[in-house]
Structure 1
Amino acid sequence: MRPHLLFACAFVVALAACGDDDGTTPDDGGTTDTATGDTSMPDTGPRPDAGPQTCTIADTECPADQPFSSAACDLADSCTYPDPDGTTTWTYVCTDGLWMGTNDCMPPPGGVCPVGPLAEGCRTPFEGSMPATVEIGPPGAEAFRPFRDREPIELVVGGQGAPMIAFRVRVAGEDVPACVSMSTVLTADAGEPQPVSMRPLVLHCGESLSMFEIVGGDFCRPGPFTLEVHVTLAGIGEATATVTFGEVPCTG
């Protein structure tokens, strides 16, 4: 599979949508968002919908903001939200008491699909320890699932020209915190591991929103290539997923 291209402006708009609920620009600080290569990833702490109460208190009407997948709901109507790309519409339906989102994009080849709301940063990561299971899965607003072993994926090429993988994480355990510290190591095509990427991360009922990491290496040649994604959540646990991808368009 060939990676699809996304314009840098789309990422900037998407990042702005992940700030405070009042629509203001979030404070600087926190981690580098690899979708744009800058350090303006929202770092304003978990929003109200990241608290434990949303795991049990169901929405009975369409939320003002796009809900996160697996949040509780209890209504028959579908809810629609425009994507920051200006062309895509997200539709959320309450399925078995949980929100599930889909969009009307045209998938590749021939089209481009957004990944949905992007992960938020936070200032007070969990500092304790707890037993839990950590999983890594595809991005999006559908129900979370872990990557299949060696699952084919498409890398995303952003405005900075570097290929990136998009993914989510899920933590299964008792009293999962809303703010955690996560480190990520990518190993592409059985090469040397990339430098560790670290970020504070908001979890919504144990699940993150979609995030990006740059995949270093020369993939301007026929694939497939193998990519190992290893994440560690401080004091909680770790997980590894192995996926495959195809040739990346040559740049420069």
Structure 2
Amino acid sequence: MTSRVAAAIDAAHAQGRGAFIGYLPAGFPDVRTGIEAAVALADSGADVLEIGPPYSDPVMDGEVIQEATQAALAGGFRLRDLFPAIAEITSRVDVPVLVMTYWNPVVQYGVDRYADALVAAGAAGLITPDITPEEAGEWIAASKRTGLDRVFLAAPTSSDERLEMIAKASTGFVYTVSTMGITGERADLDAAARTLVGRLRAAGAERACVGIGISTPDHVAGVVDYADGAIVGTALVRALRDRGLDGLAETARALAGGTARQPSTR
């Protein structure tokens, strides 16, 4: 089956730019506004949406996203609310929607049941930050059965052997971690990301998108000089928190403006 996420990234490339992948937590600041925020993000230039169901122990997330997900949980958001929200988003936007989730809720729900619910809601697949390919046999089987994309993470500390495993197991793209640590904005992106993308390409990855620490149009422009796309989360969540839907849309448009490539760039 054709990867909808890969097709979206390739479509951006055909337009002479890198892909802009935007993250928002589900249910923030409430379920209805969270849906409208995702639609606004797609309408403002995101090529792929990442929707993150709130989780009680978000070990990878920085302060801004942690606070947003805790607010969503405090507001009553539960996993059962995720699939109807995704279904409404996918009915209103043309861009693929990935769910970025910690693994425990998927196991608790049932891997095949979760996959079938994603398909029914129109989602494109999962990003799984805390499970590695060798631990993900049940999910890999379910994604092959359903045609859902599976996006694994690669870090600068990964060995070449592990990068080959990640590249082979991933579809859509490999989520390339720009720096070691939690998500959040950085004044300067770690140069290790450029090296890691090169290593991933050598390992067979067809598409590598860089996330963690990307918060400005200049960051986006720097990333798409060598990677297939830039992933932004914290800057978008902060804009939504502080300036509402209009502020989110304005920030997204500015970030999307950083995706244009120079003619000599890949």
Give the TM-score normalised by structure 1.
Answer: 0.32
More strand by share: 1
More helix by share: 2
Give the TM-score normalised by structure 2.
Answer: 0.31
Greater C-alpha Rg = 1
